[in-house]
Chains A and B, each alone.
Chain A
Amino acid sequence: MHIELKDIHKHYGPVRANNGVNLKVEAGTIFGILGENGAGKSTLMKILAGYIRKTSGQILLDGHVVDYTSPAIAARLGIGMLYQDPLDFPALSVLENFIIGQRRGLTQSNQSFCQKLQSLADELHFALRPDQVIRSLTIGERQQLEIIRLLALGINILVLDEPTTGISSLQKEVLFKALRQLATAGKIVILVSHKLEDVEQLCDNVTVLRRGKVTGNMQAPFDAQKLLKMMFGQIPSTPQCGRITPGKTALVMQGVSASGGRAGLEKCSIQFHQREVIGLAGLEGSGQGVFMRVAAGLKQPVQGKIHMYERDVTDQDYHVFKDYGGMYVPASRMEEGLIPSLTIAEHFALQVSGEFWVNWSKAMQKAEDSIVQFSIKGQKQTLVASLSGGNQQRLLLSFLPSNPKLLLLENPTRGLDVESGHWVWRHLQKYCRTDACIVFSSSELDEIMMVADRVLVFYNGRIIKDVPTCETSVEELGRAIAGKI
C-alpha cells in the first residue's frame, strides 16, 4: 500500500493555502509534515481526509486515482484523520462515542462493541474505561478514543494534526509507542507538527511545507538546523532571558479555594510581583485553569482573599479586573477568545469604537498595523474562523493592551511554531520591562524553564512547588507534576 499526492492546490480567493504539493508515503512508515504556522499543513491533511475539497490535483491510492467528497467516503477507503481540535460528543460516554459512526450489523450488541473497544485499547496500552463521560477526559484521552474509533472503522492511513499540543509528556510517550506499533503493523501514519522534537523522535521521513509549497524532504536521522532552515528560510533566534529585579506586588491570594475543573483549587496562597514572569506547570486540569479564572474574576472563590495592586478584588468580576489593567487570554481560542463569524477588522472595531458609532477608519488602521506587527497571515476582511491555528493565536495576542499591569495567559504559545513562539516571548518580555506581571500556564516544561523567573507546580488543585527556575530542573519539575516531591 502507498499513497501519493500529486500537485495539490487549494485556493481560498487570493490565498494559496496549498500551491502544488507533491508527496508519497509508503506502507509501514511514520511520515512527518513540518511547517510554520499557516504553511498549509492542516489544509493538505483535510484534503487527504475528505474534509475539504481540493482546487486541483490528484490523490493516488496504490497507483489508482481516487476521488472522494466526504470524510465518510475517505474512511471507507481507509483514510482517517484526528483533527487539531477533537470532534467528539462531550455529553456521551466513551462507549457511545465509539459506537457512533461504526457500521452496525443487526446482530451486534453493545457488548461486542465494548469488547472491541477494550481489546483495541489494551493492544495500544490506552487506559480508557467504556463508561467514562467524555467531558471528564483529558485531551490526551479523547485523542486515544478517537484513534481507537478510527482503527475500528478499518483505517489504514491515520493522519494526526498536531497531536502533541495540550497532552502530558506521559500521554505523549503512550501515543508515540502506539503509533510505532501501528506503523510496524503496516499502516501509514502521517504526523503533522511544527515541533522538531516530535518529528525527530518518531518519523522515518519528513516533508517540509512553507507558504503552501514543499521546501524539502529528509529521511531519518534528521539534521535539525537544516529542517529549521527549510521551515523558516532562516534559523530563528531564541529569546534572551533578562533577569530583572521584581517590583511592587501585583497579585496576592490568601487561602483561596474554588470549585471547577477536575480538582478545583484548594487553599492557594501566592504573591506575584511586577516584572516577574511566572510559569504554571501541572497536568491539564490540576488547578492552573481554575487559578487563572479566579484571579481574573471569571470565577468567584468559595473562600479566601484576592488583592491586585493592593486593591481588594475578591468578589469583583472580570470587567473590574480589566479596568485595573489586567487581561486574561484563554486557551480555547475559538470557544472563548475570538468571535468566529467576525472578521479581523471587526474584532478591532469592537475594541476601538465609541459608545454609539463604530470607528471604522481607526479599526481598519489598527487591524492593518497589527497584521503587519504580529505577522498574521490573513487580511483585514478575513473571518477569524478561517485563520490557521497559529494565526488565531497571534491575533489574540495582538489584542493585549499597550500598557498592561497583569497578564494571565493560558498556554500562550499553544499551536505556535518555534519561531512564532520565540517571537511571542520577545514581545511579552517588553511588557515586563514596562512593569507588567506575567503569569502563564504551559504544558511544555522547556518553555517554562526558558522564559519564566519562577515556576509553580499544580497537583490535584494544590500548589505543591513554588521555586525560582534557576534553582530547579526539568527532571525535578517532571517529578513534581506527577505528585512526587
Chain B
Amino acid sequence: MTRNTPQSHQPLKVLQNISITAATVFCFTFILIMASGAPPFKAFFYIFKGSLGSWVKLSHVIQAWVPLTLCACGLLYTFRIGLWNIGIEGQMIMGAVFSTAVLRLGTQSAFPWFVLILSFVAGVIGGGLWAVIAGFLKTRSGVNEIFAGLGLNFVAQGIILWLIFGPWKRPGVASMSGTEVFPTELWLGTIKSLRLAPVGVGFAVLAIITSAILLRYSSIGLRLRAIGSNSHASYLFGMKPNQYMLLAMLLAGGFAGLAGNLQVTGVYHRLLPAISSNYGYLALLVVMLADYKVWAVPAIAFFFACLNVGSIQLPMVLQVDSSLSGVIQGALVLATLALSGWRRFQTAN
C-alpha cells in the first residue's frame, strides 16, 4: 500500500468510483421513484430541466452551490481531524444573525460597501464563535461534538426565531417571512436579470482554492490529518491536539458563517427563520460523497444543488410527495457509504 505524497491523487480511479456510485444510485432511485408511483424517466427529465433548463434556473443552482461549497470546504477541516461537525447548520445560522445585526446598524450609513464588508467579518465571527463553543465543550469537558453541535443547532434556531418574532420583528406584524428587507444599497451586487451575486461565487471559489492549498501543502493540513488518525502519537510528536481541534472548528465555523452571511446579503436580503435552507446538513453529505477530497467538492456540490433546485417542481408536475428529493439525496449517501465500505474491504485484501 503506497501513496503519492502529499496526498493520494488518482483521478482515474476516483472517476471510476464516482461512476460506479452514480450507476448504483441511479438504479436505486429509479426503483424508489417507481415505488412512489411516478414515471422515473420523466422525473429525471424534470429534475434536469428544472435545474439546467434555462439561464435563470442555472443561476438558482449556483445560488445554492455557493453556500454548499463554503460549508463543505469548512467541513473538510473538521473531517480531517476526525470531528463530526454536525453543528455546521447552527454555525451558518449564527453567521446570518451576526451579519444581520451589523447590517441593521448600518442602514443609514453613507458607506454601504463598508457595512457589507463589516457584515462579512461579523458573519465569520458568528459562525466561528458557535463552532468554537462546541470545540471547547469537546476539548475541555469531553462532550461529543455531535451532541454539542445538535444542541447548539437548536439554540441557534431558537435565537433566530426569537429575534424575528421579537426585537427584530417587522413594524406591525411579526411573521415567518422574516425581518424587514434591507435597503438595496446593502444588497450584494447581482448580474443583471439573474439575481446572482458574483461576490458570493468569488468567495466560494476562493474557499476551494485556499482549502486545497492549506490541506495539501501546509503544515496545518498535515497535522490535522495526523491528529485525526492518532491523537496520542501526534501529542508525542509535539503537537497539541486540542488546539488543532479548536482551529479546525474555527475554520469550519468561519466558512459556514460566511455562507450564512451570503444567504442574507446576496439572496434573501433579510433574515428568515429558514435562512440556512439545510445547506449545512447537505454539505455533510457532499463531503462524504466527495470522499473527503477537496477537488471533488465543487462538482459534487453542484450535483446536489441541481438535485435540490431541480426537484422543487416535482411534486407539482408529477403529483409525488415533496420529500422525494430528500429521499434521493439520502439514497446517494447510503450508496456511497456502502461502496466505500466495500472498497475498504477490497484494499484490505
Contacts and interface: CB of A to CB of B under 8 A. Distances in A.
Contacts of B239: 350
A382 B219 contact: no
A52 B347 CA distance: 10
Nearest to B240: A319
Interface in A342-377: 342-343, 345-346, 349-351, 353-358, 360, 364
A322 B238 CA distance: 8
A364 B5 CA distance: 10
Contact of A339 (B5, B234, B348): B234
Interface stretch (A243-251, A328-336, A460-468): A328-336
Contacts of A322: 238
Contacts of B238: 319, 322, 351
Contacts of B162: none
Interface in B192-249: 217-223, 225-226, 229-230, 232-240
Contacts of B6: 346, 358, 360
A381 B2 contact: yes
Contacts of A364: 5
B108 interface: no
Contact of B222 (A328, A350, A380, A382): A350
Given A336-B233, A340-B230, A350-B237, A382 B225 contact: no
Given A336-B232, A338-B233, A358 B226 contact: no
Contact of B230 (A69, A338, A349, A355): A338
Contacts of A53: 349
B4 A342 contact: no
B222 A358 contact: yes
A21 interface: no
Contact of A342 (B225, B232, B235, B348): B225
A319 B236 CA distance: 8
Contact of A349 (B222, B232, B236): B222
A346 B233 contact: no
Contacts of A356: 218-220
Given A341-B225, A343-B2, A345-B5, A358 B219 contact: yes
B13 interface: no
A346 B5 contact: yes
A386 B1 contact: yes
Nearest to B221: A358
Nearest to B214: A356
B4 A381 contact: yes
B225 A330 contact: no
A380 B229 contact: no
Contacts of A459: none
A69 B223 CA distance: 37
B236 A346 contact: no
A353 B226 contact: no
Interface residues of A, number: 39
B5 A13 contact: no
A378 B217 CA distance: 24
A379 interface: yes
Contact of B229 (A330, A339, A381, A382): A339
A61 interface: no
A318 B229 contact: no
B3 interface: yes
Contacts of B226: 339, 342, 346, 350
B3 A381 contact: yes
Interface centre among B1, B2, B349 (most CB of A within 10 A): B2
B216 to A, nearest CB: 9
A318 B222 CA distance: 21
Interface in B230-279: 230, 232-240
A261 to B, nearest CB: 16
Nearest to B226: A339
A55 to B, nearest CB: 11
Interface in B1-44: 1-6
A350 B223 contact: yes
Contacts of A318: 235-236
A322 B3 CA distance: 31
Contacts of A350: 222-223, 226, 234, 237, 239
Nearest to B232: A336
Interface in A380-412: 380-383, 385-386
B90 to A, nearest CB: 30
Contacts of B237: 339, 350-351
B239 to A, nearest CB: 8
B268 to A, nearest CB: 38
A337 B2 contact: no
A227 B236 CA distance: 39
A383 B236 contact: no
A126 to B, nearest CB: 32
Contacts of B230: 335-336, 338-340
A381 B232 contact: no
A139 B221 CA distance: 37
B3 A343 contact: yes
Contacts of B217: 357-358
Nearest to A333: B233
Contacts of A13: 1-2
Contact of B1 (A339, A360, A382): A382
Interface in B44-83: none
Interface string A1-23: 00000000000110000000000
A337 B5 contact: no
A421 B232 CA distance: 26
A52 B218 contact: no
A354 B222 CA distance: 12
B236 A353 contact: no
7 contacts: A13-B1, A336-B233, A341-B225, A346-B6, A350-B237, A351-B238, A355-B219
Given A339-B233, A356-B219, 10 more contacts: A13-B2, A52-B349, A342-B225, A343-B3, A343-B5, A353-B219, A353-B222, A355-B219, A356-B218, A360-B6
Interface of B: 1-6, 217-223, 225-226, 229-230, 232-240, 348-349
In the A-B complex, the 3 residue pairs with the smallest Cβ-Cβ separation, listed nearest first, are A341-B229, A381-B2, A339-B230
